[in-house]
Amino acid sequence: MMPMLHLKNAGFDFEIATPTGKPVFFEMWAFPQKDEAVKAIYKEFKSSFENPKKLADFNEASAEEKAAYSALFVPGGHGSMLGIPEDQNVCKAVQWAHENDVFTISLCHGPGAFLSTLRDDQKFMYDGYRMAVFPDSVDAMTPKLGYLPGKMHWGLSEKLKGLGVQVVNSKADKSVCLDRKLITGASPLAANELGKLAAMTMLEALNAR
């Protein structure tokens, strides 16, 4: 929610979409109940979270309609590693942003969505990019902490590194990274800095037009 808060304060609006059109899932145990600003923006978009659009509808929109969008925001969470890396509608949205010079913003495990663009006969489109990503070493410890029921079947950081990505962080910290039109944050701890960096960068880009 924190990146959305900064972007909203910078004048940007949001259209919420999921691959299936089913409601957005939040880990409410981690929700900052004492942060009135975050609670307010959650309340503002609660209806959209509960009744999001289908990503396929966005993908089928005309070029003129899509020209109104300034960025694609892929939130974090382990859900980004389950089904999302194989989803063709996610692939189309990520490719659209990349090919049309639109900002892509992502946090934590969100870059798992980028794997949807993999093709056997093509180089990964983020080969050579720098990213801040949730580290596999921390994921390996989460079952001991009771956060996950078991170990992850694969590691996102190592997968990205194997595809030519330079991961800039080794801890689940506040690290953020800007590389061309890609803005990433390492963990939930980076949400505030990611929002500020995204808002500032996007405003500068719009003012430069």
What is the longest distance spanned by two Cα atoms in the chain? Answer: 50
The residues that are catalytic are 108
Is the Cβ–Cβ distance between 197 and 178 less than 8 Å? yes
∠ Cα 143 147 148 (to 5°):
55
State the fold for domain 2-207: Rossmann fold (3.40.50)
Per residue in 43-79, pLDDT (tens digit) is 999 999 999 999 999 999 999 999 999 999 999 887 7
Per residue in 94-126, pLDDT (tens digit) is 999 999 999 999 999 999 999 999 987 789 999
Pairwise CA distance, residues 32 & 47, whole Å: 19
Per residue in 166-175, pLDDT (tens digit) is 999 999 999 9
